[in-house]
Amino acid sequence: MARAYRCLSKQEFVQGDYRLVPIRDEDKYAIMEWRNEQIDILRQKEPLTKEKQDWYFQNVVGKLFEQERPEQLLFSFLEKDVLIGYGGLVHIDWESMNAEISFITQTERNSVEEKFVMDFHLFLEILISVAYDKLNFKKLHTTFYDLPSRIYYKKCIVKFGFVEEACLKLHLQINGSLANVFIYSHFRI
C-alpha cells in the first residue's frame, strides 16, 4: 500500500514520463547506494549501511506519514516507473512557510550533464509546484558545495530563478581541501 502525506490532498505528481510519489520503502537500498557513491556532495559524514538505512526508514521516514506537519516531505523520483532519484522538501519551517530542497539522482545520471540537467529541471518544476501551489510555501532554498561536480547543479538552479543569498567562504573540508558553501533561494512570485 502506498503511503500518503497528510498535508497533501494529492500524492502523485506527474509531468510527462516523470513522477514524484511519496518515498517508497522499496527504494531505500538504491538511495543508500547513491548516497554512499556521492557522499562528497552531501552532508552525510560516513557511508550508510543497510542497518542504518532500515532504522532511518522505520524510525524517521515512517513517522513522516503520521504527522500533520512533518519536518520533511521525501519523494521517490521516477521516469517511466523506474526509480532515477529522490528528494523533496527538508528542514521545513511551517510557521514561515519555507523549506530546503534536497535532490540526488542515480550516480550514472548525475555524471552526465545533459541527463542531470534534464532530470533536475523536471524535478524542480514538479517540486516547486507542490511547494507553492499545494502547500502555499513562500520560499525555497538549497545548499550546495562549490565543487566542480556541482557546476551543473548551480547552472540549473540559476536558470530556474534561484538567487544567491549566502556564500560561506572556505567553510567545509572536503577531500582535504576547504570549499565554499552556497545557499541559493527561490521566492514565490
| CA 28 centroid distance within chain | 14
Longest dimension (CA), the chain: 46
pLDDT at 110: 84
Cell of 12: 502523485
Report field, pTM of the whole predicted structure over 0.75: yes
Give the chain's end-to-end CA distance (angstroms, integer): 36
For the ranges 26-30, 135-139, 147-151, 185-189, the lowest mean pLDDT is seen at 147-151
Encode 85-120: b = buried (16+ Cβ within 10 Å), e = exposed: bbbbbeebeeeeebbbbbbbbbeebbeeeebbeebb
**Domain residue extents for the chain:** 13-138
pLDDT tens digit string along 57-116? 999 999 999 999 999 999 999 999 999 999 999 999 999 999 999 999 998 988 888 898
Please tell me what DSSP assigns to residue 161.
T
| Strand-by-strand arrangement of the 139-145 sheet | 13-15, 18-22, 73-79, 82-93, 98-105, 139-145, 177-187, 163-174
Q: Who's near 154: CB < 8 A, 6+ residues apart? A: 144, 182, 184
In the CATH hierarchy, which top-level class contains the domain 13-138? alpha beta
CA angle 36, 60, 144 (to 5 degrees): 45
Among 24-28, 48-52, 146-150, name the most confident range. 24-28
